[in-house]
Amino acid sequence: TPNNIPMGPLTVPLLGNIPQLIGRNPLLLFRKWRKQYGDVFSVYMGSQLLVVLNGYKTIKEALVTRGNVFSERPHNFLLDKINEGEGILFASGTSWKRQKKFTLNCLQELGFGCNSLEVCIVDEAKILIEQIEQNSGAPLNLKDILIRSVSNVICGIVFGRRFSHEDKQFLEVLSNFSEDAKYLGNASILMNCFPFLQYLPGDLLGNKTILEHTKVFQKLYDDLYESHQSTLDDNNPRDFMDLYLTEMKKNSTLPNKEENTYSKNQLKALVGDLFGAGTETTSTTLLWAVLYLLHYPDVQEKCFDEIQTVLGMERLPSLDDRSHLPYCEATILETLRIAAVVPLALPYAITREVYFRGYRIPKESSILINLDSILHDCDIFKDPGVFRPERFLDSSGQVRKPNEFIPFSCGRRVCIGKKVARMELFIFLTTMIQKFKFFPVDPCHLPDLEGNLGITYSPKYFQVKIVRRQDVKS
Ligand code: HEM
């Protein structure tokens, strides 16, 4: 290729590879292009070069061995407008490093991996069960209920409170986040390549809707910010917001203003990131789990039998049960693998020219980390399209995770929420399986296993019939 840039499919003038991608599942195309062009290939969105990295060795070499080069995010037209480069998800440089480190420490302090967060998740699981019970036996859109439960866990961490499933403001923010996640992937990529699209009449790409939604979130955030400010006790932090406000106060006395990366706007961006990154991902994984259980009823029964043997029907699952429920754990791992909920991680940027695996990657190129290429690699996971939890069990029935299993990515940008996500997935899923049995609404037409790619890869809309275990006729 000219100038030793990675090879890739033929491009159309001005549009690059957009015509091949429109209306198709990019993940399937990327699988095909990997076979044709190898583990490092190029795709053009307009004139913008995206280098797609595939396979465990290549991705690990980039994100871990050369993590100093592969750790920045590209400018994103929409998110720059919303977050002004602050927060974690789409921030870069010193500000990102400080905010990520601080957030990780806070999450640790607030009970990541220890009891208080677990209590919050178990309480939320009880409410989830009540919500499902109200609709037992009728076709149900489980997605909305799951989003409310999962985001209440984030609310507990960030604001120290939960919201009722009927709270109008809460419901509006959640429905906005869901809609934004659908639009964000396509809208922001296209708008980055063709900024003039923002001036088109109407709102074909959803950019105007997304910006409108930020106002609703801003109102909720402002209310909670004020109430935290007025009741703050530096010595008794109640939640993430309190910890941040205390740190902000400390930093405001720094003589060198450049050093201070703590601000009200920065906090708003962080809260938005924790919601955005923590809610859609985890609830979508749970939804995929239910969808796969509909397709693989034997797996559902094995999980139920294991739970019944270890816990019975009454005692609710807790994190201590994880090691005693290896088949359930393996089912969660298999869902994280097969669903690949964040299949292309988040885009990376190269801020200077880089030589990688013999190729030249020009400055300002974007990099896509194709996690799907690992999680569906048939050399690592035999028959990758088959849902088989046993692949995560060793010969003695204990959980076994290969190093290549990285649904949360790796290196400096690794997901900060992977512990909390794993806790939620375990408690929510095992509690639901203990109490209910999932049935397809129409046994002759199971919901589609091919999903939609936005920022996450999510199932197409489906309903499920959920029946209380005690009401199931054997
Ligand atoms: C099943 C659930 C989840 C999955 C599969 C998942 C996966 C990922 C992936 C693949 C990335 C991209 C890393 C990269 O760019 O290389 C990421 C980033 C991130 N995740 Fe998660 N995540 C999940 C849940 C959560 C939760 C619960 C939180 C918050 C509590 C969270 C917070 C974040 C943040 C803040 C980042 C950005 C990290 C950075 O840019 O430095 N995630 N996640």
CATH code: domain of residue 136: 1.10.630.10
**Is a pLDDT exceeding 70 seen at residue 262?**
yes
pLDDT value for 2: 65
Give the closest residue to 206 by CA, choosing from 190, 189, 184. 184
DSSP structural state of residue 235: T
- pLDDT above 70 covers what percent of the chain? 95
Distances (CA, A) of 52 to 6, 34, 42, 297, 314: 9, 9, 6, 36, 49
**What's the rounded mean pLDDT across residues 399-413?**
97
pLDDT value for 450: 93
**Is a pLDDT exceeding 90 seen at residue 215?**
no
Structural domain including 244 reads: 2-471
Distance 114 CA to ligand 1 centre (A): 20
Tell the residue nearest (CA) to atom 20 of ligand 1: 415
Count CB neighbours of 141 within 10 A: 13
pLDDT value for 104: 93
- pLDDT above 90 covers what percent of the chain? 70
Tell whether 415 is in a known binding site: yes
Residue of 417 and 455 predicted with greater confidence:
417
The pLDDT confidence band at residue 187, using thresholds 50, 70 and 90, is low
Tell the residue nearest (CA) to atom 7 of ligand 1: 408
Amino acid identity at 153: V
Total structural domains within the chain: 1
Residues paired with residue 348 on neighbouring β-strands, in sequence order: 367
Atom from ligand 1 closest to the CA of residue 422: 1
Atom from ligand 1 closest to the CA of residue 279: 27
- Asked if residue 94 lies in contact with residue 82, where contact means CB atoms within 8 angstroms, the answer is no
Question: pLDDT digit string (tens) for 7-65?
Answer: 999 999 988 998 998 888 899 999 999 999 999 999 998 888 999 999 999 999 999 99
Lowest mean pLDDT among 95-99, 174-178, 189-193, 326-330: 189-193
Tell the residue nearest (CA) to atom 3 of ligand 1: 281
**Is a pLDDT exceeding 60 seen at residue 108?**
yes
pLDDT value for 391: 98
Most confident among 92-96, 152-156, 372-376 (mean pLDDT): 372-376
Count CB neighbours of 260 within 10 A: 16
**Is a pLDDT exceeding 90 seen at residue 153?**
yes
Residues paired with residue 139 on neighbouring β-strands, in sequence order: 465
Mutate to test the pocket of ligand 1, among 281, 283, 406 (most ligand atoms within 8 A of CB): 281
**Is a pLDDT exceeding 70 seen at residue 203?**
yes
Show the tokens assigned to 203: 């709102």
Distance 425 CA to ligand 1 centre (A): 14
Residue 457: which residues within 8 A CB-CB, separation 6 or more? 27, 284, 339, 340, 341, 342, 343, 372, 451
Which phi and psi angles does 24 have, rounded to 5°?
-115, 165
Average pLDDT, the chain: 91
pLDDT value for 183: 72
**Is a pLDDT exceeding 90 seen at residue 395?**
yes
Lowest mean pLDDT among 42-46, 70-74, 110-114, 292-296: 110-114
**Is a pLDDT exceeding 90 seen at residue 216?**
no
The pLDDT confidence band at residue 194, using thresholds 50, 70 and 90, is confident
**What's the rounded mean pLDDT across residues 109-126?**
82
The pLDDT confidence band at residue 186, using thresholds 50, 70 and 90, is low
| Ligand 1 site, CB within 6 A | 88-89, 100, 273-274, 277-278, 281-282, 285, 341-342, 345-346, 369, 407-409, 413, 415-417, 420-421
**Is a pLDDT exceeding 80 seen at residue 437?**
yes
pLDDT value for 473: 75
| ipTM, interface predicted TM-score of the complex | 0.99
